[in-house]
Amino acid sequence: MNNPIILNKLNDIDDNPYFFSNKNISNKIYIAQKATSIENALYILDVWNNHNYNIGNTTNTLNVKIPYNKYFYNSNDDIMLDPQLNGNNKYNVLIYKYNNKLNYVALLEFKNK
């Protein structure tokens, strides 16, 4: 089996999930799943954490308040955690601006079994 390619930067080419790891967040490997909003990213993360699968592209949102970590991505070397949130390490949302539009990524912690 080939080793997967793990990116340390965001992929703006398409909406397919990909492996992502960046030392400015942690040393963990994540599956980066694009989302339509913070609430949508939290829904994707909630399904991942409670049912162990990536629901993928969906418009569903999570209306329950869950503590989460919000990261702002400016570049590969400039990723900042929102200091106002003290969230659950299993709920990480990455936010970046592309073409003057905010984009959201749910970071699903990769579980190697």
The pLDDT > 70 percentage for the chain reads: 88
Question: pTM, whole model, 2 decimals?
Answer: 0.88
Domain parsing of the chain, residue ranges: 6-109
| Phi, psi for residue 35 in degrees, rounded to 5 | -135, 170
| 5-14, 53-62, 100-109: the lowest-pLDDT one | 5-14
Please check the confidence at residue 24 and state whether its pLDDT lies above 70: yes
Higher pLDDT, 51 or 13: 51
Name 7's Cβ contacts closer than 8 Å, sequence gap at least 6.
18, 19, 20, 21, 32
Q: How far apart are CA 52 and CA 19, in angstroms?
A: 16
- Sign, Cα dihedral of 40, 42, 47, 53: positive
Which ranges constitute the DSSP H helices of 1-113? 38-51
Give the pLDDT of residue 64.
77
For residue 51, the SS3 value is: helix
